[in-house]
């Protein structure tokens, strides 16, 4: 990956986002680590990312559900690096609950955290990709967006909407050299998943996964690096499932 490229990875202070930011940095790209509240964890990612090249990583605080904060993050990136080439929409939230147990505010919060955030970031970044007629957008969705999942209708609808938006943007911007793809993980070994599963939950879940284990954030990151590369220019509008065979 070219050292001149600049990637923004939202929600990258922990979990899948952290792994993606470090993998992109390891591939030679400059990277922006975005966080909302976990400042020290974001700084730790920056230190690790810069073991290869000092100054190659920028930390940017922003709540990506807020348009003004997204705009400020983009402005900070441009002032520091002078360009943006890659956007990874990873930031998201989870709040498992049954349909009749959710209210309109909880529904709206899930849409904002998992879908509107991606819309706002795409809307802010795309003009800069269009100037160069080259760009990569990678949306981190979930198999819940394909199957309904177990985290609630609000989560499934938001993640399904992200896949639909991916396909629409891919069609619209492919003629301008921009690819847009979704990675669709399931059962990745993160703090968020283990917290939702509770004690003993991971062991029970693994018995239902054909490959016999949870996925790792690094496996998702390696796919993101490929999709962000020059070699992936013929892949766009895809929702690539990484689930270990789990359905």
Residues annotated as catalytic are 155
Contact 215/187 with Cβ under 8 angstroms?
yes
User: Which residues make Cβ contacts (< 8 Å) with residue 74, sequence separation at least 6?
Assistant: 8, 84, 124, 125, 128
Phi, psi of 7 (to 5 degrees): -120, 135
Q: Which helix (H) or strand (E) holds 148?
A: none
Give the rounded distance of the alpha carbon of 33 from its chain centre. Answer: 12
Contact 89/103 with Cβ under 8 angstroms?
no
CA distance 110 to 3: 36
Tokens 């849409």 label which residue? 111
Tokens 């020059």 label which residue? 230
């Amino acid at each position: 990956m070219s050292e001149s490229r600049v990637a923004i990875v939202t929600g990258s202070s922990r979990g899948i986002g952290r792994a993606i930011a470090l993998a992109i940095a390891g591939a030679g790209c400059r990277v922006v680590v975005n966080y909302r509240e976990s400042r020290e964890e974001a700084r730790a990612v920056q230190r690790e990312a810069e073991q290869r090249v000092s100054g190659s990583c920028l930390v940017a605080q922003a709540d990506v559900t807020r348009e003004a904060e997204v705009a400020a993050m983009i402005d900070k990136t441009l002032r520091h690096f002078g360009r943006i080439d890659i956007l990874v929409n990873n930031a998201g939230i989870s709040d498992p609950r049954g349909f009749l147990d959710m209210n309109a505010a909880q529904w709206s919060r899930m849409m904002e955290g998992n879908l509107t955030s991606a819309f706002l970031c795409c809307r802010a970044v795309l003009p800069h990709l269009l100037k160069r007629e080259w760009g990569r957008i990678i949306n981190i969705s979930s198999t819940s967006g394909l199957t309904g999942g177990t985290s609630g209708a609000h989560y499934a609808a938001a993640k399904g909407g992200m896949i639909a938006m991916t396909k629409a943007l891919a069609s619209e911007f492919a003629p301008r050299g921009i690819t847009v793809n979704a990675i669709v993980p399931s059962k990745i070994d993160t703090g968020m998943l283990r917290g939702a599963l509770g004690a003993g939950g991971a062991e029970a879940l693994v018995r239902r996964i054909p490959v016999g284990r949870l996925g790792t954030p690094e496996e998702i990151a390696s796919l993101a690096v490929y999709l962000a590369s020059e070699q992936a220019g013929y892949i766009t509008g895809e929702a690539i499932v990484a689930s270990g065979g789990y359905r």
